[in-house]
């Protein structure tokens, strides 16, 4: 995407995590703050050090949440560092790539080209409407430089508002809900200033052609329309 989009974390840490937990005494009065230590190991197990004010079940549950958050954080870091190309999630797998050879290419007046992998049903997004979509963005050799799949959340933008590159904007306009499309975007409709390389991510030169695989998931307000 032309503008970076921050995706919300899958798990929100509760207030006070990794600090102290306030327990209640036998008669409901506040007890002392009980420090907790969750110590991980290479096997993925955890050792819990807990004072008498917190029972073992509470402590284990607490550390389980901490371990889950740590796992998600580590996965996000691994994605940021970049996986090998063959391990990255894609909207079009090798079988899909073979089928693409038999799908006709549509060329628009702007020079944008596309192939409909799945046509979809229902409405197409009117200009100004918000859409939710997954995308995988590639340079011509197939290397991925951006992907909503790796970020773990669908991308949302308003069609025709200039929030995304011109080729993506135009390409989504004629899609239907549930549709999956490959866009061959010429340089003049892509990134005029290019995109710099990052860890595991190829550089996109200024005004160079790019490829976007897009899956249109939702158009809020038009979900119930069933127009062919």
pLDDT digits (tens, 9 = 90+) for 163-198: 999 999 999 999 999 999 999 999 999 999 999 998
Per residue in 49-83, is it b (16+ CB within 10 Å) or e — as a string? ebeebbeeebbeebbeebeebeeeeeebeebeebe
Average pLDDT along the chain: 75
Final residue before a domain boundary, out of 31, 62, 81: 81
**pLDDT of 20 strictly over 50:** no
Which residue in 52, 50, 72, 71 sits closest to 62, CA to CA? 50
Structure tokens at 8: 């919300």
- One domain for residues 45 and 143: no
What's the burial of 17, exposed, middle or buried (CB within 10 Å: 0-12/13-18/19+)? middle
0.75 cut: is pTM over it?
no
Final residue before a domain boundary, out of 81, 108, 134: 81
Total structural domains in the chain? 2
pLDDT digits (tens, 9 = 90+) for 47-102: 444 444 445 554 445 445 444 444 444 444 444 445 666 668 899 999 999 999 99
- One domain for residues 126 and 196: yes
* CATH number for the domain that contains residue 108: 3.10.50.40
Report the largest interatomic distance among the alpha carbons of the chain, rounded to a whole angstrom.
Answer: 77
**pLDDT of 145 strictly over 80:** yes
What does the pLDDT read at residue 122? Answer: 86
- One domain for residues 74 and 156: no
Establish if 4 belongs to a structural domain. Answer: no
What does the pLDDT read at residue 226? Answer: 52
The whole-number average pLDDT for the span 31-45 is: 42
- Residue 155's alpha-carbon distances to 31, 131, 149, in angstroms, are 46, 8, 9
For 52, the domain range is 20-81
């Amino acid at each position: 995407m032309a503008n970076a989009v921050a995706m919300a974390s899958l798990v929100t840490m509760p207030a006070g995590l990794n600090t102290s937990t306030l327990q209640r005494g036998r008669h409901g009065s506040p007890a002392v703050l009980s420090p907790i230590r969750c110590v991980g190991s290479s096997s993925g197990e955890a050792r819990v050090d807990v004072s008498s004010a917190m029972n073992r079940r509470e402590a284990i549950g607490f550390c389980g949440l901490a371990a889950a958050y740590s796992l998600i954080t580590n996965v996000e870091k691994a994605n940021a560092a970049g996986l090998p190309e063959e391990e990255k999630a894609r909207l079009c797998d090798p079988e899909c790539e073979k089928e693409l050879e038999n799908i006709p290419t549509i060329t628009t007046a702007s020079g944008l080209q596309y192939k409909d992998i799945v046509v979809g049903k229902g409405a197409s997004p009117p200009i100004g409407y918000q859409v939710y979509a997954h995308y995988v963005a590639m340079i011509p050799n197939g290397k991925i430089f951006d992907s909503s799949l790796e970020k773990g959340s669908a991308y949302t933008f308003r069609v025709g508002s200039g929030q995304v590159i011109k080729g993506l904007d135009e390409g989504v306009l004629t899609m239907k809900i549930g549709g999956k499309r490959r866009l061959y975007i010429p340089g003049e409709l892509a990134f005029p200033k290019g995109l710099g390389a990052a860890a595991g991510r190829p550089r996109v030169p200024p005004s160079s052609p790019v490829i976007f695989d897009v899956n249109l998931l939702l158009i809020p307000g038009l979900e119930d329309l069933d127009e062919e």
